[in-house]
Amino acid sequence: MKIPRDISGNELARRLDRLGYRTTRQTGSHIRLTTNERGENHITIPTHDPLKVGTFAAILREIGRHHDLDRDALLKTLFGRNS
């Protein structure tokens, strides 16, 4: 499954709520999210619109590693896409 190319940092932060992430702080153009599911994990997301593909891929890789999900399963969870 391909990574969406038109997602903003704010939209990604809202969608990460599905995995238990909550905004813990925002400094300038970066949002810090934390989850306590499967142990504590912090992720920082720039609020750029749209996110660069490489940045988005790195964020997904870190989240997938923490939740033990491959990229396709993670994209399906976050964006509800089948394919």
What distance in Å separates the CA atoms of residue 42 and residue 3, rounded to the nearest whole number? 21
- Cα of first residue to Cα of last residue in the chain, in angstroms, is 6
Q: Is the pTM of this model over 0.75?
A: yes
Q: Provide the phi-psi class of 39: left if phi over 0, else alpha when psi is between -120 and 50, else beta.
A: left
Residue 81: its pLDDT value, please?
A: 53
Residue-range domains of the chain with CATH: 9-79 (3.30.920.30)
List, for residues 74-83, the tens digit of each pLDDT value. 999 999 854 4
List, for residues 17-71, the tens digit of each pLDDT value. 999 999 999 999 999 999 999 899 999 999 999 999 999 999 999 999 999 999 9
